Amino acid sequence: MSNQVKRIKRALYETYFLFLGRCYNLRLQWFWYVVMLSISPLSYLFFLLFYNNGIQGNELGIYAFSGSIAASAVTSAMLSLGQTIGGLREGNAMEFYSTLPISKLRFIFALSLEGILFSLPSSLIVFIMGSLFLETDALARIPYLLIAYFVSAFSLAGVGAFIGFSGKTPQSVSLATQVISPFIVLFAPVYLPIEKLPFFFQFTSRFIPTTYSARAMRVTMGYGDFSTFWIDILILLGFSVLCLYGAVRKAKWRVTSSDAY
């Protein structure tokens, strides 16, 4: 086996065990994960459906369902990373990880996967509900949804990691991630068509990944031109690479950077 293959195998092995270690938390917190991740998006959906905000008919439903999934996808890893790293730092547990020869990138990746794992089931339920409710053929596009969901989740994972590593206290980390979330959801065409946003936000939303995530989600639900799907995925991948690179470069881990990649 070549060294390159060995390294890739080892990287996957390490990432799996980092992820598995995070999943042990389900032993203690599974009930609250189920409650938080099921009740919250569903109540959000009902709110949007009952309080019509000017978008009529089928379009309202599409925006409501796809927006909910996009918001959940983009914020899941970011919130999970920020708050988990903040919590680990508070209990000095971050010292445990940062003194081991593990890669910072793989650590961020494993924590992002944890956030995705805990948010994906509820989003899938919303997607299936939406597909049935709107009578679309979206169920056949679940693989596309998964692709869009994972890429969306990683698009701001680096931001969550950076906040988690850089915040002065776990409380400030938690606050920072929660302050960012409404901005990236409400100031982008997630629940509304872009024309409904003020002109300034129509421009700034181009720099927010939720714009592309929501468009990709709408396409998977059968609304809009499918040819934009892969373009949106590429843009989201660009956000992911940029944010993760920035987080790995800038986030405080230990003095040397030899294990950063």
**Contact criterion met (CB below 8 Å) for 77 and 156:** yes
Among 2, 4, 56, 99, binds another protein (CB under 8 A): 99
Residue 225 or 255 having the CB closest to another protein:
255
Residue 56 or 99 having the CB closest to another protein:
99
Other beta carbons less than 10 A from residue 192's beta carbon: 17
80's torsion region: left (phi>0), alpha (psi -120 to 50) or beta?
A: alpha
Q: By CB under 8 A, what part of segment 228-257 binds another protein?
A: 254-257
The yes or no reply on residue 135 touching another protein (CB under 8 A) is no
The yes or no reply on residue 100 touching another protein (CB under 8 A) is yes
- Rounded CA-CA distance 132/128 in Å is 6
With CB under 8 A, what is the number of residues at the site for another protein? Answer: 30
Q: Least distance in Å: CB of 88 to another protein?
A: 7
Residue 88 or 157 having the CB closest to another protein:
88
Residue 19 or 133 having the CB closest to another protein:
19
Residue 2 or 99 having the CB closest to another protein:
99
Among 46, 96, 183, 226, binds another protein (CB under 8 A): 96
The yes or no reply on residue 1 touching another protein (CB under 8 A) is no
Among 36, 196, 201, 259, binds another protein (CB under 8 A): 259
Over the window 70 to 89, marking each residue x when it contacts another protein by CB under 8 A and - when it does not, the resulting string is ------------------x-
Where along the sequence are the contacts to another protein (CB under 8 A)?
10, 13-14, 17-18, 20-21, 24-28, 88, 91-93, 95-102, 254-259
